[in-house]
Chains A and B, each alone.
Chain A
């Protein structure tokens, strides 16, 4: 690097400009320059292979190169970094002396302990060659390569991406960290923020799903990354020299060359942004298509009722209607619409007290991300009021559809015996057409599940006896059902046919009661504020899963509903309820929810604070 800091000059590339012709990139090389490369990767993503290629290419280019890593326990899922420093050419740069001691690439200088007695003579410093660091320093990274998006975010967080120097090549695909994926709801880190950090803090960048690029080229991520490095011109090494490293390593040469070319093109196309540079959905995300709940299943009379709904509610209501008809029948679809229309009516008729009372919170638009569900300031001009109750109905329509199509044995059997499902499984396991695939289901229905399909008068005494006898959780029948065989398929198929009897079943009755109660809470909450009603609607998300998980969800849901009254007297009712909901999703043991409810009870009430 230059001794005067900040005077780092690029090889003919100005910020924001396209890459210089990389093949001639060494022409104006300053004599005392070190290029630094930080590779942020996850175990098994080929960071080590990439590092070795770069070492090889730099050595062959007649440069001193040093690479270090902290592999640690990386192979065991952790994040890992590789760090490289690449010096000027021995035949051009300032450390010519170094080459006298050995062949190009020899670590001659930073080297030998001085032998011989006496204090250190004033050896010409040049004879020591370049002193390369083993650790990256923030503000001093020329090239950051991230094999996964979050790792680019981590580098930014650590100050390793700076506008003066850093070219960033980052793949936008996500490998979720354990905290993100084990959350009881949506714990994913906000991708958009990482993208913004990279694009705002870097000198130049490529952000694209390199995993996909690799897949299309039929190769692995590391070769695409090497190609992208070559294309970026961020290093002084010619493109063909970098490509040569793949040949010299001699492993999967052809496939890696394809990946290399694909990677190169990412920067070649930089002037006109490649179509995939900002993919709308991540690799992990599927196509936004309707699920197996057959699309277009809208009896025309009911479809007309959907069209009559306010515009914001229509989308979810339409999908919800299809779902309910698919789940049970047209009558069930009608019930679904009855409930939405009922909610709209009850909320539209509610009138809020004058300004200054409870109207400081308004419903924010529904969003799948928890971070986005904040409280906006309300505008109580009459023209704005309907939007608020539409927003509540929209969210309720979404949750109601999921709830009304609760997953009992019949539903599970139904979903698992559809043609679309078999096709989906075959695609997921990458089976070729005609290739035999055996599918085994793991079912373990217990007392609850069997009782759920019995009529209530039969189920209730059994459940009571089970609780008394302590075998409610114990008595499970483990079934391995092979749905790819005729007998296994028929078992589930027959189970699915029981849906005609569903209305008489214990679980059905129970769920309908809970649903009615919940809708009542939503409507009541609207009297306090639209925001509180929206939060109440969202609480339906607490009930999910099967077995113990479901039971715990119901328990948390009921405790949360019971606490609405306390929320109402809190200074910010909706925020209080949201805190409860988030606490209920914070840990499976319910500890956080206990704390939150206790805190709410002890909090100064709204009346007291006045």
Chain B
């Protein structure tokens, strides 16, 4: 059960010796785990690594045959805590999540795991959500590796390289008794490539081949005095072992300068993940070719923590200038390299942030300009790259800016067509007109898009499931109630305890809206504890491929969220169908202005429309084909009634509610228009009513395969209306 089916991808997991895997980077990593004899995998969904958990959930058969245990964890802390199995036992395990947010959540478990150390290989695959397309705060996972002293791999972004990083990662973990993080950038996760596969290796120990029994080792307990010993072990045993392994196994790569005009006295040290971008920049500037021959020597750090001092000083020795290409900030690598060169008394001029910007994604253009600056600054006039390369980029951008005259409008993400969360914010906007502006604590999920145009609702975003908790000190300072938002995903991730339980315990007087969509929506429709598992469920406790459905009320509706709320002591709970804007407005008004003290929770019911359409469309098509009566609903705008003010759009932002040129030559403004993507959710009509907007909207119900009665009625009506109507 996920946004898309992974049936085809599942087959690639079973490939053996001599086969070729074609597909996405993150799925290649999934395959590599099975080739490495992994015993268990735990994870929490989130771009760019959601697909790994999705494909594992669809691949029960293959995993069961190998005996690999997979869990969809409640959050990243749970996923990381699973790695505890590798502390005492020689089993290989993997945890996967989106970083840095997931690593933040997991960091308690991560610290304890890192301190205790591991026996079996423990690999943490983090999807580094940084730069263009990222959906989270911009930080680096690198800092976590340093503070907990776990090792960090950042392989070159090609499938064979990433697969080898998985295999070597387990070996490194076991050789040094330390968990290893494998960092994959967004594009590396989604890169489509290929690699030659090996047959999967059944794990040494698994549900099929259980361990002998529990093992107790006092040195693995995170309690003084063992913790003091563990810290000593980190620096005296594990670190040196890791450095030795990285050096011995040649994880990092030295590509010497090649060709007749090789330049030996400068060099580039790069993170593995940036290698392709650097090489492309060198090629464009005329210093390399596309097969990897470079006139400038390069040292590629596929392991970015810890560094191997002799490797770095060996590469830099005898070079006038070395460029460090390190994406993100602070520039830990550059600082570390500078420090170790000083200690080794290597007198090389070190450049990094300077030619390159301190912050932000290293896009093709940024890398091109950075490398160009470095070469220009270090090489003599004759040897420097042609100015025309970067000049051509400047020209193209300048000319485009001149012709376009204004920046092209951005496309911030927004709610999908017919999204059930949109009406909640329409209702909030309408209520604010009556009761005045209020502080709204937003949360992580699709509903965060409400902070963007056209709603601009949500004053703060503090983290996943933390919307309500973040209101705690705001309400007392406002003199009136605040509204907090939480998705069902965030609710189960930690919102129930961190937010709801804490709020009830502290007797706060707040309002919470829980968006009950039925699944996690933003990450791609994964099942959560309140998902209704219907017919076809395999009974594997929420995991695996299951048929789900969504019922807003009635006997089949999930009451899990309500029960949990009551269980922690919430008294005021209302369930409102999100599309009933008027009811939502009334309920919100009651919650905000009523006399009842304490936490008031509105469970806003509405199934994720993306998921609903996926089920509904085939069903609709089938009925249509069978010749059965079926009504298609959509909305429209009477363009001669619309005056072109677009208030409706500012209260909705639905992708299918757009504008078009008025066919009335007297009107200069475009008129509102509902395009054919409309799913007939009904919000347009509700908002027009609830906000007393305008009478332009109409609902049209088109009857397919009409019955005889339908046709008779239509005939009579058409005749009467036709006779009365003006032309």
Which residue of chain A has the shortest Cβ distance to B131 in the bound complex? A70
The segment from B281-289, B555-563, B585-593 that touches chain A is B281-289
Q: Chain B's interface: helix, strand, loop or mixed, by majority?
A: mixed
| B:441-455 near A, CB below 8 Å | 446, 449, 452-454
B632 CB contacts on chain A under 8 angstroms: 429
Q: Shortest distance in angstroms between A589's beta carbon and chain B's nearest beta carbon?
A: 11
Interface pair B365/A137, CB less than 8 Å apart:
yes
Q: Shortest distance in angstroms between B568's beta carbon and chain A's nearest beta carbon?
A: 31
Q: Shortest distance in angstroms between A168's beta carbon and chain B's nearest beta carbon?
A: 12
B363 CB contacts on chain A under 8 angstroms: 135
The segment from A10-18, A277-285, A513-521 that touches chain B is A277-285
Interface pair A439/B698, CB less than 8 Å apart:
yes
B452 CB contacts on chain A under 8 angstroms: 178
| A:47-79 near B, CB below 8 Å | 51, 55, 59, 65-79
Assuming the contacts A75-B416, A439-B700, A444-B688, asked whether A416 and B164 have C-beta atoms less than 8 A apart, the reply is no
* Interface membership of B695, Cβ < 8 A: yes
Interface string of B233-265 (1 = CB under 8 A from A): 000000000000001111101111010000000
Assuming the contacts A177-B409, A436-B711, asked whether A200 and B403 have C-beta atoms less than 8 A apart, the reply is yes
Interface pair A549/B640, CB less than 8 Å apart:
no
A196 to B290, CA, bound (A): 34
A438 to B710, CA, bound (A): 10
A220 to B465, CA, bound (A): 39
* Interface membership of A493, Cβ < 8 A: yes
Interface pair B250/A588, CB less than 8 Å apart:
no
* Interface membership of A469, Cβ < 8 A: no
Interface pair B404/A157, CB less than 8 Å apart:
yes
Q: How many residues of A contact B (CB 8 A)?
A: 167
Interface pair B720/A438, CB less than 8 Å apart:
no
B289 CB contacts on chain A under 8 angstroms: 3, 32, 125
Interface pair B288/A112, CB less than 8 Å apart:
no
A5 to B697, CA, bound (A): 57
* Interface membership of A608, Cβ < 8 A: no
Interface string of B371-399 (1 = CB under 8 A from A): 00000000000000010110011001101
* Interface membership of A610, Cβ < 8 A: no
Interface pair B401/A157, CB less than 8 Å apart:
yes
Which residue of chain A has the shortest Cβ distance to B394 in the bound complex? A159
Between B135, B188, B726, the greatest number of chain A beta carbons within 10 A of the residue's beta carbon is seen for B726
The segment from A288-296, A349-357, A523-531 that touches chain B is A288-296
Which residue of chain B has the shortest Cβ distance to A441 in the bound complex? B698
Known: A72-B134, A133-B280, A139-B396. 14 other contacts (CB 8 A): A67-B192, A110-B160, A129-B291, A131-B276, A138-B365, A157-B408, A159-B365, A179-B453, A180-B409, A182-B646, A200-B399, A435-B702, A486-B717, A547-B692
Interface string of A142-186 (1 = CB under 8 A from B): 000000001001101111011010000000000111111111111
Q: Shortest distance in angstroms between A321's beta carbon and chain B's nearest beta carbon?
A: 11
Please pick, from A122, A135, A425, A436, the residue contacting B636 in the complex, using a CB distance under 8 A.
Answer: A425
The segment from B65-73, B500-508, B537-545, B662-670 that touches chain A is B662-670
Assuming the contacts A180-B659, A186-B669, A446-B692, asked whether A193 and B405 have C-beta atoms less than 8 A apart, the reply is yes
Please pick, from A117, A161, A425, A489, the residue contacting B250 in the complex, using a CB distance under 8 A.
Answer: A117
Please pick, from A108, A435, A473, A546, the residue contacting B703 in the complex, using a CB distance under 8 A.
Answer: A435
* Interface membership of B20, Cβ < 8 A: yes
B650 CB contacts on chain A under 8 angstroms: 182, 588
B416 CB contacts on chain A under 8 angstroms: 75-77
Please pick, from A407, A436, A483, the residue contacting B713 in the complex, using a CB distance under 8 A.
Answer: A436
Please pick, from B157, B248, B292, B393, the residue contacting A128 in the complex, using a CB distance under 8 A.
Answer: B292
Interface pair A436/B710, CB less than 8 Å apart:
yes
* Interface membership of B370, Cβ < 8 A: no
B168 CB contacts on chain A under 8 angstroms: 113
Q: Shortest distance in angstroms between A120's beta carbon and chain B's nearest beta carbon?
A: 4
A319 to B689, CA, bound (A): 33
Interface pair A541/B660, CB less than 8 Å apart:
no
A73 CB contacts on chain B under 8 angstroms: 47, 135, 413, 449, 522
A111 to B667, CA, bound (A): 61
A312 to B694, CA, bound (A): 34
Please pick, from B190, B404, B663, the residue contacting A291 in the complex, using a CB distance under 8 A.
Answer: B663
Interface pair A398/B658, CB less than 8 Å apart:
no
Q: Shortest distance in angstroms between B161's beta carbon and chain A's nearest beta carbon?
A: 6
Interface pair A125/B727, CB less than 8 Å apart:
no
A285 CB contacts on chain B under 8 angstroms: 660-661, 663
Please pick, from B249, B250, B699, the residue contacting A440 in the complex, using a CB distance under 8 A.
Answer: B699
A438 to B685, CA, bound (A): 15
Interface pair B290/A32, CB less than 8 Å apart:
yes
Interface pair B664/A291, CB less than 8 Å apart:
yes
A292 to B639, CA, bound (A): 10
A-B complex: 3 closest residue pairs judged by Cβ atoms? A111-B160, A137-B364, A70-B133
A441 to B701, CA, bound (A): 12
Interface string of B184-197 (1 = CB under 8 A from A): 00111011111110
A113 CB contacts on chain B under 8 angstroms: 155-156, 160-161, 164-165, 168, 250-251, 253, 302
Please pick, from B193, B714, B721, the residue contacting A436 in the complex, using a CB distance under 8 A.
Answer: B714
A255 CB contacts on chain B under 8 angstroms: none
Interface pair B685/A134, CB less than 8 Å apart:
no
Q: List 26 A-B contacts (CB under 8 A).
A: A69-B190, A70-B187, A76-B446, A77-B655, A87-B290, A95-B291, A105-B194, A107-B193, A111-B160, A113-B164, A130-B292, A133-B280, A133-B364, A139-B284, A150-B409, A153-B404, A154-B408, A175-B658, A286-B662, A289-B663, A418-B726, A429-B636, A440-B700, A493-B725, A544-B645, A548-B691
Please pick, from B195, B404, B639, the residue contacting A194 in the complex, using a CB distance under 8 A.
Answer: B404
B644 CB contacts on chain A under 8 angstroms: 185-186, 544
Q: Shortest distance in angstroms between A50's beta carbon and chain B's nearest beta carbon?
A: 13
* Interface membership of A101, Cβ < 8 A: yes
Interface pair B414/A106, CB less than 8 Å apart:
no
* Interface membership of B638, Cβ < 8 A: yes
Which residue of chain B has the shortest Cβ distance to A402 in the bound complex? B666
A34 to B292, CA, bound (A): 13
Interface string of A83-108 (1 = CB under 8 A from B): 00001000000110000011101111
* Interface membership of B42, Cβ < 8 A: no
Interface pair B400/A157, CB less than 8 Å apart:
yes
Please pick, from B636, B639, B722, the residue contacting A419 in the complex, using a CB distance under 8 A.
Answer: B722
* Interface membership of B220, Cβ < 8 A: no
B638 CB contacts on chain A under 8 angstroms: 415-416, 421, 425
Which residue of chain B has the shortest Cβ distance to A34 in the bound complex? B290
Between A119, A287, A316, A319, the greatest number of chain B beta carbons within 10 A of the residue's beta carbon is seen for A119
Q: Shortest distance in angstroms between B322's beta carbon and chain A's nearest beta carbon?
A: 17
* Interface membership of A431, Cβ < 8 A: yes
Assuming the contacts A70-B132, A425-B700, A546-B693, asked whether A133 and B277 have C-beta atoms less than 8 A apart, the reply is yes
B406 CB contacts on chain A under 8 angstroms: 189-190
Assuming the contacts A75-B416, A131-B276, A197-B400, asked whether A286 and B663 have C-beta atoms less than 8 A apart, the reply is yes
Please pick, from B134, B277, B290, B640, the residue contacting A293 in the complex, using a CB distance under 8 A.
Answer: B640
* Interface membership of B459, Cβ < 8 A: no
Interface pair B659/A284, CB less than 8 Å apart:
yes
Between B276, B280, B449, B660, the greatest number of chain A beta carbons within 10 A of the residue's beta carbon is seen for B280
Interface string of B626-656 (1 = CB under 8 A from A): 0000001010101111011111011001010
Which residue of chain B has the shortest Cβ distance to A137 in the bound complex? B364
A189 CB contacts on chain B under 8 angstroms: 406, 408-409
Interface pair B277/A442, CB less than 8 Å apart:
no
* Interface membership of B618, Cβ < 8 A: no
B279 CB contacts on chain A under 8 angstroms: 131, 133
A442 to B688, CA, bound (A): 7
Interface pair A201/B399, CB less than 8 Å apart:
yes
Interface pair A416/B641, CB less than 8 Å apart:
yes
Assuming the contacts A78-B411, A407-B641, A486-B721, asked whether A158 and B397 have C-beta atoms less than 8 A apart, the reply is yes
Interface pair A107/B194, CB less than 8 Å apart:
yes
Which residue of chain A has the shortest Cβ distance to B287 in the bound complex? A3
| B:119-159 near A, CB below 8 Å | 132-135, 155-159
Which residue of chain A has the shortest Cβ distance to B279 in the bound complex? A131
